[in-house]
Amino acid sequence: MQLILILAGAGLFLFFVYSAVVSWREREPVAAKHFFITAILILIPFFLTAFIPFTGKVFVFSLLMAGWTAGILIFLLPNGKNHAYRQVKPEGKIDERDTMFSRNELMPDTENFEDYYKHHPEKKALDDRFRGNKGLLQKGTTQYNPFYFASADASFETIAALRNFVNGTVATEKIPVKPEEISRYIKNWSKKLGAVDCGITELQDYHIYSTGGRGERYGRKFEKRHRFALAFTVEMNHEMIQTAPAGTVVMESGQQYLESGRIALQVARFIRNLGYEARAHIDGNYEVVCPLVARDAGLGEIGRIGLLMTPKQGPRVRIAVVTTNLPLITDRPLHDFSFIDACVQCKKCAEVCPSNAISFNDREIINGSLHWQINQESCFTFWTIAGTDCGRCISVCPYSHPDNGLHNLVRFGMHNSGAFRKIALKMDDIYYGRKPIPKPPPKKLQTT
């Protein structure tokens, strides 16, 4: 009995000490302190029972062992899984002109401006709110930092310079390919190029914007020209995202839009070199709705923030897409109820959102599709005050923790067991805080 108590207590103690060390290294001192206190508290009853003689020792031993076993079973036994999954596919297409980036580019006294608000008069007052603010990456915003904003601008300008390469000449000689082999090759190569994941889906009408809304593509009707779409995710650095809504967040966004875009451009060019049509969809030049393509390509689910929630990085990713006629093997969508269920319970992003843009309600049918929709006007208006793309919702999400042993163990439990999911979400609030304070920028990037 004594040996069992020592082993069980020591096992738990070591696990929580390990969690404390991981948290300390992740610059989470509060979580590290909480994990360390838990390690001590959990050790006490096991060791007291093991070493101090008292009446009723067998009863306390049974209680401790029952608790220990229950914990393991809650973690390991699958329950509350995909039987409850429900997805309603979108009926219509999204018009890119309705997105905030497109509306932000509308200049007063131009034809597009007059035309847009003639057809959407209800949006005029909402948009005048953000037009009265300083704007993204501008001096005078609350998060203004000349170094961070200039760095972010450098990334976005580099992407802009690459936009002309999304299309290109297709080689006249068509190299014969086997769908399995070429699908596997592209996935492995894109990961070598820096993607954390790559998935393939058959392109659907609802993946494609009905009409372009940016730059020279404004007002252009988009049609389905390719059969397949490849989606790539790249990771946004955890340390940078933890600073949200500081300037370092928009720096990281710009960098990862560029990284994902670069991978898409290389893969598209590669496919054209083989003699097949391919178009890259990169920041500022999308014809497709990336999160919907990525979800159908099996890379994640759409969560409460309206972003793709991925198994290893949560919403802490950026996405780019390549559409093509290259014959490919498609992936199965995850159809993972655990993400949806976690978002139904958690609501942490909605609580911290500085613009109250995130709904506290359950998913709703909006434009024929079952999902959460943020209030994009409120969100964007906050961006134009802060000067950054905020990212507070991404930074506090329990799925955004780094991709390492500790957090992947928790992610496995959350995916596997509804009961564990409930406990893990509560623990996340206790250990990391329900409204965690933004972290300072990484030491090497701090400015005076």
Binding site for ligand SF4 (CB under 6 A): 303-305, 342-343, 346-349, 353-355, 357-358, 374, 379, 382, 390-393, 396-399
Please report how close the Cβ of residue 263 comes to ligand SF4 at its closest, in angstroms. Answer: 24
CB under 8 Å to 413, separation ≥6 — which residues? 75, 420, 421, 424
* 233-264 CB burial, b ≥16 within 10 A, e <16: bbbbbbbbbbbbbbbbbbbbbbbbbbbbbbbb
Q: Which residues are bridge partners to 301 per DSSP?
A: 309
Minimum CB distance to ligand SF4 smaller for 275 or for 354: 354
Minimum CB distance to ligand SF4 smaller for 38 or for 355: 355
Please report how close the Cβ of residue 314 comes to ligand SF4 at its closest, in angstroms. Answer: 6
Both tokens assigned to 359: 């709904």
Minimum CB distance to ligand SF4 smaller for 5 or for 390: 390
Please report how close the Cβ of residue 241 comes to ligand SF4 at its closest, in angstroms. Answer: 11
Which element (helix H / strand E) includes 369?
strand 369-371
Minimum CB distance to ligand SF4 smaller for 268 or for 396: 396
Minimum CB distance to ligand SF4 smaller for 163 or for 238: 238
Minimum CB distance to ligand SF4 smaller for 328 or for 353: 353
Minimum CB distance to ligand SF4 smaller for 257 or for 399: 399
Please report how close the Cβ of residue 49 comes to ligand SF4 at its closest, in angstroms. Answer: 37
Please report how close the Cβ of residue 27 comes to ligand SF4 at its closest, in angstroms. Answer: 19
The torsion defined by the Cα of 251, 254, 255 and 256, in degrees rounded to 10, comes to: 120
Q: Half-sphere exposure of 155 toward its Cβ, with a 13 Å CA cutoff? A: 23
CA distance linking residue 125 with residue 121, whole number of Å? 8
Please report how close the Cβ of residue 130 comes to ligand SF4 at its closest, in angstroms. Answer: 12
User: Residue written as tokens 């070493």?
Assistant: 51
* 133-156 CB burial, b ≥16 within 10 A, e <16: bbbbbeeebebbbeebbebbeebb
Helices (H), 106-228: 111-119, 124-131, 146-162, 179-193
